[in-house]
Amino acid sequence: MAIALYIDEHVHRAISLGLRLRGVDVLTVQEDGLTATPDSLLLDRALKLQRVMFSQDQDFLVEAHHRQVANIPFAGVIYARQLVAVGNCIHDLEIIAKASDPQDLANRVEYIPSKASTQLS
């Protein structure tokens, strides 16, 4: 069973579009009418919708850690640094979304790695 993603408002729109073109179930914070909502409430909303949060905002890492320590459930967070290329985010998120079950990410944080660029000599 695939996972559905809840995309933070600070994520580049091209990532959401690219994921949709690849058949990933995506809902953005903007589409949900919750722009400028505190991270804690967005994680509550993602849990209610049974969607894993994707963000490039480090504040989500703080909130997720707080919930892990306090044993407060959340659907999961996938995090990528801002410097991760859009194409890499789309590729890695597609794999995670299609190969994971919701319980695999519950109460966890997954990181999309920054890939080192390769140079041809």
Model confidence at 120: pLDDT above 60 = no
Question: How would DSSP label each residue in 17-28?
Answer: HHHHHTT--EEE
DSSP H helices in the chain: 13-21, 39-49, 59-70, 86-99, 102-105
pLDDT tens, residue by residue, 98-108: 999 999 999 99
pTM above 0.75, yes or no: yes
Domain coordinates of the chain in residue numbers? 5-112
12-24 pLDDT, tens digit per residue, is: 999 999 999 999 9
For the residues 85-95, what does the mean pLDDT come to? Answer: 96
CATH of 5-112, one of 2.60.40, 1.10.3470, 2.60.120, 3.40.50: 3.40.50
Q: Per residue in 45-87, pLDDT tens? A: 999 999 999 999 999 999 999 999 999 999 999 999 999 999 9
